[in-house]
Each structure stands twice: as structure tokens, then as C-alpha cells.
A and B are shown apart, each in its own frame.
Chain A
Amino acid sequence: MTSAISLSELVKTFGAVRALDGLDLEVATGEVHGFLGPNGAGKSTTMRVLLGLLHADSGQARMLGGDPWREAAELHRRIAYVPGDVNLWPNLTGGEVVDLLGRMRGGLDEAKRADLLDRFELDPSKKARTYSKGNRQKLALVAAFASDAELLLLDEPTSGLDPLMEAEFQRCVVEAKTSEGVTVLLSSHILAEVEALCDRVSIIRNGVNVQSGTLSELRHLTRTTVIAETGARADRIADVPGVHSPEFTDAGDQHRVTFDVDSDHLDEAVKVLSDHGIQSLTAHPPTLEELFLRQYGEEVPA
């Protein structure tokens, strides 16, 4: 599979701040790639390097086979971008903005334009200054999806959308991917959206890619939470490698233990538990919430 986006060792500094600190990112053609990370991790900076708005200090950046800095205008005919904070010209109408961006990109699909305005329930004759945040966001989405772009760069595109519009957005992404093979780089904090749409995700922190893979791969790489009740108190569990923060509660003959275990060591942990006579056992993979909280750097309360 070829790469739509390929970044390696990308560095971008703003004065003393290293916004991107050797970032690697691969987005395969045709996939929807989730781009996650805490606020200030460097997601928007990456997007803006891809748009050729910022010049990276060092490292390689390729997008659709071209150099995003030097071939910016040519590449932009093949992409569409939706920022998380849409700023519009206050005295142009919504319809004018969609047309303007479409024409600047080299044309837009009339049928799609009409359909999308309808689906996102937008009045194109209203002046942009009167649009709410959600409506401005919807307008940028209409302009992006009405284009014939091969690659969509979406930077928190659904901030401010209501749940109905959020669902509409998800349908649009799925349609674009399945019927036209569009590649999507989607930065988002809405985990349900990421889980529903993304084939693969990358998590970045402090300008470095800390984890890339499919969601199930990521889950596999992290810990499983185990809750067990045993006949005898399973003190030895604390000695098993890969077991974290075991907590014991004893009520009479009932001995209960709760711990997290690295997925590689699950087998050993269960063997130790079974030596103590398992009476009940629940184990669940980390929820997405837990997964991200861990990757973003916080400890999940046990």
C-alpha cells in the first residue's frame, strides 16, 4: 500500500518551543487515520506543515507524492482542509464562501454542494458574521466534502456540532472513503468518532509519535484490568512481572483482588490466581478512555 502522507523526523520550533520534535507519521492511501493527542501536542502544527503554511526546520515531509512546502498550490488542488476554528469573511454569505473555496481549489461538484447544504441544514444566503460556531464548522465541512479531493485534512472538524450533525459528518466520511477511496487524516478528541471511523490511529505527545496502529493493536499493547475472587488470599500476584497496583479486599473467606496486567503477562497472572482457587474472574481490555488517558500521560484510577 502506498502512503498518502509520510512524515519522518519532522522538527518544527517556535523560538524555544519544540512543537514537533522528530515526528514520524504514515497514512496509507485510502485509510481513515485518527490523529490523537492532548492539547498542545503538535497536531495542528503537523496539519499546517502538511498544508505548506509552516516550513519545517528539519525532517522529511511527503504528501500525495509531493513536497508540501514547495508544491503547495499544486497539491492543494487534490486536498481539502477543515480547521477546528473556522474563520470566515464576515461580509460574505455562506454560499459565497463555499463557492469561493471551491473555485480556488479548481472546481466543486454542484450536485454534492446542493446535497450537502441540505444535509447540514445550512442557509447559504446568510452572512457569515451571523453564523454560530457550529454553523461555521458545518460550512467548512460542506466546502471540503463538495470538492473532489483525494485527501481530507480534518483538524477537530466536529467541534461545536450537535449530535445529529455529528452523525451526518460520520456518514460523509464513510461515503467519501467507500465510494471514492478518499484518504482522511482526522484529528479529534471525540473518541467515539475515532472508534467509529478510523482504520488506524496515531497518538502524539510533545511533538513525538508515541503510538501508531489499529485500535486492537493499541489495546493489545496496553494493560488488561482483572478482578478476581479467590479461596485463598493471592498475595503472590504482586510478584508476577507485568502486574500493576494490585488491591486486596478481604471479607471473611472471600478474598478479592483487582489489578492491571500487561497483556503479555496475562497468562502468568491467571496461572497464579488459579493456584489460589478462582471463584470468579472478570477481565476486560482497557476502554478507549483508559487507553487514551494512559497514552496522554495520566494514570487511570484503579
Chain B
Amino acid sequence: MSAPFTGTGHLLRLILRRDRVRLPLWVAGLGGVIAASAYAVPEAYGTPEKIAGYEKTVGDSAVSFLMSGRQAALDTIGGITANEIGQVATLGICLMVLFLVVRHTRAEEESGRAEMLRSTVLGRHAATLSATLYAVAAAVLIGAITTAAMIGADLEVTGSLAYGASLTLLGVTFAGVSVAAAQLSTSARGALAIGGTAIALAYLVRGFGAINDNWLVWLSPFGWAQEIDAFGAERWWTLGLLAAATVVAFAVAAYLAEHRDFAGGLLQERPGSPRATRVLGTSPGLAFCLQRGTLIGWTAGLFILAVIYGAVVPMIPELLESNPDIGKTLGIEGGDLEAAAINSFLSYSYVFLAMLTGAFAVASVLRLRSEEEAGRAEALLATGLSRVGWVVGSLAVTVVGTLVILVLNGIGIALGYSFGMSEWDRVGEIVVDQLSFAPGVLVLVGFAMALTGLLPRWTMLAWALVAVVFLQSLLGDTLKFPSWVDGISPLWHLPRVPSESFEVTPGLVLLVISAALAAAGVLGVRRRDIG
């Protein structure tokens, strides 16, 4: 092996040793969900009538286009399966490679551990190459599981192969993007933000292209993966586009890597203020300053997403006109049909944005734990700051941040909606409806806090609950969980306004649960050892 890659094998073994739990969790979790869906769909849509009904309803739904794009062959069980698993599979594989790559590249450099390793006989690019090989292998595993499950569920073999191959290459492409992102930022958090933004952009561009059925889909790797038309025409050459994008991403990453210092990024560190502002000096003030970047990023990102979702609403009437049969299938007609379709899209948007806000909220709560693990909590608690003061200060930032984000999500949807429809009388209603999902998000906050206080070594479980919320929200209808499984997701308990009518009780109950969990967590922090 040439010099820049010397030691890649050793590093790869180290990665596998470190991730001997994490990798199986990713593969079994994501692969398992995909496989379970692949088996569930033929059962749920196994009759010709159901297949025809699916094509008529989903085949023209803005929600479905935004989520899963325009999947080919929706009149076959293979096409329906691909469409149902599309969103979780494509977003899942991209997020998986992003997390795995950043964890083994920039995060290691930032922590200083990589420095020790680099002093051994290790090539300059060995760390990048080993992380890349690892992520690619994980993507191949997911692709293989997907294809195997589809074939196992008696779907057409060629289509299953095409779907698995395009999914794998989509993951590999974003492995390249993640490696490039890891070169740009000096912090792992920053690299994740850059990579996450790239994934979100590519996903939205494909979604808009699909809604308008135009060239936009050809600007996004998600579009290329879909345009292979698995179970339909099977245009294998689109894999070439993904392969080419992968090569470009890695070339950019290699160029960046050659032109930066170890532990450095592209931006030089600028001097800051020699004095602390007034805000810094109280517990919530410190928490705010530490989370300012993340807060701004999440708020802006979700606001833009909300505006985009709102802007989809005006396209719904056109979609309905192009398919007059849909009303008959659903048993609704005329203006009612339009209102029902719009309301159903709004419900979906609220849940989706609330779910993402939940991810912010959990990350924000778990800052407490990462501050503790980094040893910085020790310095703070050696001052006059009490443990309760420390925890409550940070929680306040989380809760206020969560509520602000939800309100802005509502405003974003309302803006997109109102500009498109030239109708401004639903603004208040939309904001309130989005905010009605706050109790569900706050249960996630409470749960993360309870873990931080009572089971500090198991705080990763908070992410497991987030994963359940995602799965339940995105795939609950396909997988048909028993209701106790659905019930684990706090968002499931809240009425899907405006399609369903608002009820006070579920929200109040969730608020009480959230407060109880948070209180237990705060008491736990008071009692246990720190560090």
C-alpha cells in the first residue's frame, strides 16, 4: 500500500473494535426496519383493488412526492414497496454514513486522539480512507439487506437488485460528501451540520422536482437513485451519475485534505472578545452562549424547511385536478376534497417538523452530559453554581429554544401557504396548530433529562426514543405496529390537527409526564456523582 494510506488496515480494525455495538445497531436497526416494511407491504396491499387504490391516492399526493419522490411502477407491488420504504431507507442510509464518517474522522481529530495515532506509522490519509471503507461497507450491508428482503418478500428480482444498488450508491455518494464536510469544519458538530444540510438540500430538491414533475430531480443524488426506475424501466445508467458524483466528492475531499493542517479547517480562528458579556455569567446565559450556533442553525434550517412545506400547499389543487378519480376513491368531492387534502398535508408537516424539533431538543438536553464528560461541568460546579442551577439553566434554554423553533415552524408554514394562496386568514391557526405538538416534543426533553440524571451512561437511549418517534411517524401506517408500540411515541397521542379536531387532555397529560421526568432527572443530578 502506498505511503499516504499506510496503516489503513490497523485503523479499520480499531474502528470495528470501537463500533462493535454501534455498527450492528445501525445495520440491524435500519436494515431491520427496511426489511420489516418490505415484508409488510405485500400483505397490506396484496389485492388488485388495493394496488389500484394506492396508485390513485398516493400517486398524486403532494406529501408522498415530497417524501418519496415519483417512484416508478406504482401499479405493481414492487413499486409500492419501494415507495413506502423510500423515505426512511434513503434518509436513513445517508444519515448513517454521515454519522459514521464524522465519528471516525473529524471527531477523532477534534478530541486529540487522532494526534497520538498519527505519531505512529500511519499515512496522512489512512484515517480518511479507513472511515470511508467502513462507511461504504455499512452502506453495502444495508443495500444487500434491502435487496435480500425484497427478493424474500417475493418481489421481482431485477427490480430488487436495482433498488438495492441505487440505495447503496446513494449512501456511498453521501459518504463522499461527509468526508468532504469533515475537512471543512474544525468541529465534529460543524461537520455534521454541513453534511446534514447537504442531505436536506438534496432531499428537498428531489421532492420539489417530483411535485412539479420537472428537471429539478436531475439535480439531486436522491433523484438519480430514484430515476433508476426500479421495478419499472430499470435504467441502470443512472448508477453512473451516482458513481461520478462519488468520485467528485472524494476528489474535493482529497484536495481539501491536502491543503489543510492536522486539526485545522478552512477557516482561521479569529480573536474574540477579551471580556465576557453580561449574559455570560449566569447558568442560562452560559448555556445560551454555548448553544448559540446550534440554536441558530436548527432554527434557520427548520424555518426554511417550514416555508418550503408551506409553499407546497398551493400546488395541491393542481395535483387534484390532474386526477379527478381520487375523490371517488376517498369518497370526498369538490371543495371538501381540496380542503381535506390540504389539511392532511398540514397535519403531516406539523408532525414532521415537530419530530425534527424533537431531535434538536434531545441534542440540546444532552449537552449537559457532554459538558460533564468533557470535564467542564467540574469547573463550573466548583464555583458558586449549584447543580440544580446548572441543570435548570440549561433546560430553560432547551425549552425556550424548542418553543421558539415550533412557533417559527408554524410561521414558516403559514408564510409559504399564505403567499401561495394569497390568503392570510389561517396564519394564527397554523401557528397554534404547530404549537399543539409541543407537549410531545417536551416529553422527549423530559426523557433525555431523566436519563441524564438517573442513568447517565445510557443517555444514548434518548436517541432511541427519537428513532421510535421517527419510525412511528414515517412508517407507522405501513408497519402497522400494535398500539402499545405506537404509544411509545409521544407525538402519536396528540390529535392530528387540522385533520382531526383538537383535544386538550392528551397534551396536558404529556405535559405532566414531561415535567415529572424532568424533575426526576434534576433530582438525579443532585444525588449522583459528577464526572
Contacts and interface: CB of A to CB of B under 8 A. Distances in A.
Contacts of B280: 92, 96, 99-100, 103
Given A81-B379, A127-B269, A76 B530 contact: no
Given A85-B375, A89-B290, A103-B281, A96 B272 contact: yes
Interface of A: 48, 51-55, 72-74, 76-77, 79-81, 83, 85-96, 98-101, 103-106, 123-127, 129-130, 140, 153
Given A92-B272, A100-B281, A124-B274, 19 more contacts: A48-B530, A48-B531, A73-B387, A74-B384, A77-B383, A83-B375, A83-B379, A92-B289, A93-B271, A93-B274, A94-B274, A95-B274, A95-B276, A99-B275, A103-B276, A104-B281, A104-B383, A125-B271, A125-B272
Interface size range on B against A: 35 or more
A4 to B, nearest CB: 16
B380 interface: yes
Q: At the interface, is chain B mostly helix, strand, loop or mixed? A: loop
B293 interface: yes
A73 B273 CA distance: 28
A110 to B, nearest CB: 10
Q: At the interface, is chain A mostly helix, strand, loop or mixed? A: mixed
Given A90-B187, A101-B379, A104-B385, A54 B530 contact: yes
Interface of B: 186-187, 269, 271-276, 280-283, 286, 289-290, 293, 374-376, 378-387, 389, 527-531
B265 to A, nearest CB: 11
A80 B383 CA distance: 7
A104 B380 contact: yes
Given A92-B289, A125-B273, A126-B271, A73 B375 contact: no
Contact of B386 (A72, A100, A106, A123): A72
A81 B384 CA distance: 12
Contacts of B385: 73, 76, 104
A153 B280 CA distance: 24
Contacts of A85: 375
Contacts of A153: 382
Given A51-B382, A72-B381, A105-B384, A96 B376 contact: no
A197 B529 CA distance: 32
Contact of A88 (B275, B283, B376, B528): B376
A130 B270 CA distance: 10
A130 to B, nearest CB: 5
Contacts of B375: 83, 85, 87
Contacts of B286: 100
Contacts of B382: 51, 53, 76, 79-81, 153
Nearest to A144: B382
B531 A53 contact: yes
Contact of A101 (B289, B293, B383): B383
Which of A54, A73, A94 neighbours the largest number of chain B CB atoms within 10 Å of its CB? A73
B276 A55 contact: no
A267 to B, nearest CB: 50
Given A83-B375, A96-B280, A104-B281, A51 B273 contact: no
A96 B379 contact: no
Nearest to A93: B272
Contacts of A73: 384-387, 389
Contact of B529 (A54, A72, A80): A54
B269 A129 contact: yes
A72 B186 CA distance: 36
A130 B269 contact: yes
7 contacts: A51-B378, A73-B387, A87-B376, A87-B378, A95-B275, A98-B276, A104-B384
Given A92-B289, A101-B379, A130-B269, A72 B387 contact: yes
A53 to B, nearest CB: 4
B15 to A, nearest CB: 25
Contacts of A101: 379-380, 383
A64 to B, nearest CB: 13
A77 B384 CA distance: 5
Given A89-B290, A95-B275, A53 B384 contact: no
Nearest to A126: B271
Contacts of A95: 273-276
Which of B186, B282, B381, B531 neighbours the largest number of chain A CB atoms within 10 Å of its CB? B381
A95 B276 CA distance: 7
A74 B387 CA distance: 12
A27 B31 CA distance: 61
Contacts of A80: 382
A100 to B, nearest CB: 5
A48 B377 CA distance: 12
A200 B509 CA distance: 60
B275 A96 contact: yes
B276 to A, nearest CB: 3
Nearest to B388: A73
A11 to B, nearest CB: 14
B295 to A, nearest CB: 13
Nearest to B376: A87
B453 to A, nearest CB: 14
B403 to A, nearest CB: 25
A221 to B, nearest CB: 34
Contact of B378 (A53, A94, A130): A53
B10 to A, nearest CB: 27
Which 5 pairs, one residue from A and one from B, show the smallest C-beta to C-beta distance? A103-B281, A99-B276, A73-B386, A104-B383, A95-B274
A96 B384 CA distance: 17
Contact of A106 (B274, B293, B378, B384): B384
A96 B381 contact: no
B343 to A, nearest CB: 43
Contacts of A55: 527-529
B452 to A, nearest CB: 16
A51 B385 CA distance: 12
Contacts of B187: 90
Nearest to B527: A55
A138 B325 CA distance: 75
B378 A83 contact: yes
A72 B382 CA distance: 8
A224 B183 CA distance: 61
A287 to B, nearest CB: 35
Contacts of A92: 272, 276, 280, 289
A184 to B, nearest CB: 15
Contacts of B276: 92, 95-96, 98-100, 103
Contacts of A99: 275-276, 280-281
Nearest to A79: B382
Contacts of B271: 93, 123, 125-127
A249 B256 CA distance: 70
Nearest to A153: B382
B272 A53 contact: no
Nearest to B531: A53
Contact of B379 (A72, A87, A126): A87
